[in-house]
C-alpha cells in the first residue's frame, strides 16, 4: 500500500478552547518531518519548518530560530518529497486550489510549498498569551498584521478536506517565510508573480494527542459548530 505520512500534534479545536500549553518539544517534532507549520507555547508566533530548520515569526515582526527545547501545542510536519511540481505565474489561493482539484486530491491531505517571487504577502502573527489563556477567538484582537510587497520567499502548508475541520484547518492553511528569513507568519493573502508549486498527497495522517497533559485530558470541548465559528473569527 502507498504510504506517505502527515504528522500532527494537537488539534485546532483544542486551541479554540484556549489550550495553549506546549506539549511536545521542537526536537521531538522534527523527528517526524523536515517541513511544516505550527505555533509555540502560548500561541507565541507562527512556526515555519523548512529543511529541518524551524523559524518563528513573532508578533513584534521579528523572526527567530527557536531552541530545540521550545514547547509546541500544535503543529504539522512531513518529510518533503513532492510528487509533482508546477510552474506558477500571477496566481493566488484559488489557483493553488485549482491544481489540487484538477489532480483529484481534495479527499485527502496534501502538503505543499510555493517558492518564488511574491507581488504581495499579507501575514499575521499571534502575540504570546499568558495563563489563564483566553480562547483562540479572543487572541485575534491581539494579533499583528503585516504586509510586504515584492518579496522572495516560500509558502509552506497544507490542504485539509472539510471532513477533518476542527481537527485541523479546513482548506488551505499556509505560512510564509521570506528568502532572507527576516519576515514571515500565517498567510492571510498573497499574490505570486512567478514561482513553483511543489505538492504531495498523503495516504496517512498521524494525529498525536497530548495524553500526558492533564488540562487536555480533562477539558470539556466546546461543541464543534461553535469551534468552527471561533476558527473563522480567528482566521
Q: Which of 10, 22, 24, 123 binds a second copy (CB under 8 A)?
A: 24
Q: Rounded CA gap, 74 and 112, in Å? A: 18
Q: Rounded CA gap, 128 and 143, in Å? A: 9
* Residue 219 touches a second copy, criterion: CB under 8 A: yes
User: Which residue stretch of 1-9, 60-68, 120-128, 173-181 sits at the interface with a second copy (rule: CB under 8 A)?
Assistant: 1-9
User: Which residue stretch of 34-42, 57-65, 68-76, 210-218 sits at the interface with a second copy (rule: CB under 8 A)?
Assistant: 210-218
For 61-88, give the secondary structure using H, E and C. Answer: CCEECCCCCCEECEEEEECCCCCEEEEE
* Residue 69 touches a second copy, criterion: CB under 8 A: no
Helix (H/G/I), strand (E/B), else coil: 28? helix
* Residue 2 touches a second copy, criterion: CB under 8 A: yes
How many Cα atoms within 13 Å fall on the side-chain side of residue 46?
A: 29
Q: Rounded CA gap, 136 and 231, in Å? A: 7
Helix (H/G/I), strand (E/B), else coil: 185? strand
Residue ranges in 91-110 that form contacts with a second copy under rule CB under 8 A: 104-105, 107-108
Lookup: cell for 45: 508566533
Pairing of strands 110-125, 144-160: antiparallel
- How long is the chain? 235
CB of 112 to a second copy, least distance (A): 16
* Residue 163 touches a second copy, criterion: CB under 8 A: yes
* Residue 166 touches a second copy, criterion: CB under 8 A: yes
Q: Rounded CA gap, 28 and 18, in Å? A: 23
Long-range contacts formed by 211-217: CB under 8 A, 24+ apart: 212/23, 213/19, 213/21, 213/23, 215/19, 215/21, 216/14, 216/19, 216/21, 216/23
Q: Which of 30, 193, 209, 229 binds a second copy (CB under 8 A)?
A: 209
Helix (H/G/I), strand (E/B), else coil: 29? helix
Residue nearer to a second copy on the CB measure, 68 or 179: 68
Residue nearer to a second copy on the CB measure, 147 or 203: 203
User: Which residue stretch of 49-57, 123-131, 138-146, 203-211 sits at the interface with a second copy (rule: CB under 8 A)?
Assistant: 203-211
Q: Which of 127, 221, 233, 235 binds a second copy (CB under 8 A)?
A: 221
Q: Which of 62, 65, 152, 206 binds a second copy (CB under 8 A)?
A: 206
* Residue 224 touches a second copy, criterion: CB under 8 A: yes
Residue nearer to a second copy on the CB measure, 13 or 136: 13
Which residues bind to a second copy, rule: CB under 8 A?
A: 1-3, 11, 13, 24, 28, 104-105, 107-108, 161-167, 201-209, 211-212, 214, 216-219, 221, 224
Amino acid at each position: 500500500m502507498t504510504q506517505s505520512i502527515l504528522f500532527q500534534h494537537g488539534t485546532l479545536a483544542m486551541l479554540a478552547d484556549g489550550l495553549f500549553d506546549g506539549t511536545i518539544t521542537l526536537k521531538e517534532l522534527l523527528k517526524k518531518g523536515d517541513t511544516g507549520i505550527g505555533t509555540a507555547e502560548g500561541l507565541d508566533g507562527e512556526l515555519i519548518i523548512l529543511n529541518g530548520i524551524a523559524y518563528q515569526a513573532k508578533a513584534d515582526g521579528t523572526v527567530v530560530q527557536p531552541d530545540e527545547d521550545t514547547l509546541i501545542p500544535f503543529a504539522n510536519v512531513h518529510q518533503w518529497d513532492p510528487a509533482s511540481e508546477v510552474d506558477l505565474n500571477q496566481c493566488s489561493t484559488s489557483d493553488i486550489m485549482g491544481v489540487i482539484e484538477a489532480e483529484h486530491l481534495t479527499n485527502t491531505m496534501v502538503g505543499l510549498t510555493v517558492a518564488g517571487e511574491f507581488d504581495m504577502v499579507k501575514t499575521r502573527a499571534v502575540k504570546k498569551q499568558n495563563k489563564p489563556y483566553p480562547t483562540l477567538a479572543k487572541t485575534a484582537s491581539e494579533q499583528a498584521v503585516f504586509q510586504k510587497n515584492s518579496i522572495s520567499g516560500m509558502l509552506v502548508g497544507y490542504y485539509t478536506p472539510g471532513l477533518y475541520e476542527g481537527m485541523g484547518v479546513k482548506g488551505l492553511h499556509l505560512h510564509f517565510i521570506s528568502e532572507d528569513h527576516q519576515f514571515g507568519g500565517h498567510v492571510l493573502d498573497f499574490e505570486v508573480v512567478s514561482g513553483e508549486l511543489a505538492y504531495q498527497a498523503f495516504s496517512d495522517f498521524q494525529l498525536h494527542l497530548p495524553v500526558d497533559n492533564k488540562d487536555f485530558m480533562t477539558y470539556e470541548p466546546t461543541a464543534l459548530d461553535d469551534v468552527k465559528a471561533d476558527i473563522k473569527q480567528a482566521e
